[in-house]
Amino acid sequence: MTIRNTKTFRPDEKGLIEAADALRNGGLVAFPTETVYGLGADAQNDTAVADIYAAKGRPQFNPLIAHFADISQAKLHVKWSDMANHLAEALWPGPLTLVLERHNKSNLSQFLCAGLPSVAIRIPAHPIAEQLLANLGGPIAAPSANISGQISPTCAKHVNADLFGRIDGIVDGGACQVGLESTIIDLTGVPTLLRPGGLPKDIIEEIISTKLATVLNYGVIKAPGQIASHYAPQARLRLNAKTKEANESMLGFGPVECDLNLSETSDLVEAAGNLFSSLHTLDCDNAATIAVSPIPEIGLGMAINDRLRRAAAPRPATN
């Protein structure tokens, strides 16, 4: 792969014009959203979108999310529905991705959808992402800005550790507030939760007055029933740990003795925000195993546990 000169763009007017120019010229630019840092490319440029897969080492059958500035632009690319409209009006901008049937007039890159007849769309709630989208004047394809299968980035330092020299630039906008990827809902059939994320599913169910079906099959699945390894630190993970054993680092939740605490007050919002950065920190300390306190399976706890289970899953030999 060619080595790229990774610039840091300032999160000001001039920096965001330069970052949008880099995207317009087919470049790859990482930028903050409220969920995690995204690795952006012009979603209508096939070469640029293909370059995302190469930079991340991402399997080409794993499609990307297209980010839009507003609902009217997003609607041009999909078969819009009343339910999509209801959710979008209530929850966008925000950490919710909708999967809808792709409109046959859409000029989004085919690589974005990895050959699927559907497309995943979102409007991010972050001033830097919003300005970048406005400056580009079109959609941005953006998966998380990390090497495929590894921990998602919640600050510019994490992005550089994985992707420096592989991308054209990064807008450093500090830490991401939500800290977990978006919740993904498939609306092409029965409304289905594909990925728990930064928006608890009960909020969505309340708005559409419907219980969501659940098919958690995102990521790289090697065999039916296998949990895909994802969000994986170098260290092993031991989940639902009450105490720390010899040679372990402890990632706590609530009032427990530990090396790092996701939230001493058992606040799931705070814990979500700290999850990936804590895994990064303990991993940099070279722990062989990270023991993690039990996290309640409610609200954002469902998304936190999903990420922890995938981080603890058996690793593919190539990872």
Give the shortest CB-302-to-Mg ion separation in angstroms. Answer: 18
Footprint on residues 218-247 left by ligand AMP (CB under 6 A): 218-219
Footprint on residues 133-152 left by Mg ion (CB under 5 A): 144
Among residues 184, 232, 250, 275, the one that binds ligand AMP under rule CB under 6 A: 184
Stretch that binds ligand AMP, among 116-124, 206-214, 249-257, 292-300 (CB under 6 A): 116-124
Give the shortest CB-173-to-ligand AMP separation in angstroms. Answer: 18
**What is the maximum span of the chain, computed from C-alpha positions, in angstroms?**
59
Among residues 29, 41, 48, 119, the one that binds ligand AMP under rule CB under 6 A: 119
Residue 116 binds which of ligand AMP, Mg ion, none (CB < 5-8 A, kind-dependent) = ligand AMP
Among residues 116, 216, 260, 313, the one that binds ligand AMP under rule CB under 6 A: 116
Give the shortest CB-152-to-Mg ion separation in angstroms. Answer: 5
The position carrying tokens 């592989």 is 166
118 binds ligand AMP (CB under 6 A): yes
On whether the CB atoms of residues 83 and 185 are closer than 8 A, the answer is no
CA distances from 9 to 107, 117, 177 (A): 28, 35, 20
- d(CA 108, CA 152) in angstroms, rounded, equals 25
> Is 74 or 99 the residue whose CB approaches ligand AMP more closely?
99
Query: What b/e string do you get for 157-176 counting C-beta neighbours within 10 Å, with b at 16 or more?
Result: ebbbebbeebbbbbbbbeeb
Neighbours of 25 (CB within 10 A): 11
3-state secondary structure of 304: helix
110 binds ligand AMP (CB under 6 A): no
Residue 34 has φ and ψ, to the nearest 5°, of -70, -20
Residue 99 binds which of Mg ion, ligand AMP, none (CB < 5-8 A, kind-dependent) = ligand AMP
- d(CA 27, CA 42) in angstroms, rounded, equals 8
154 binds Mg ion (CB under 5 A): no
Residues at the interface with Mg ion (CB under 5 A): 144
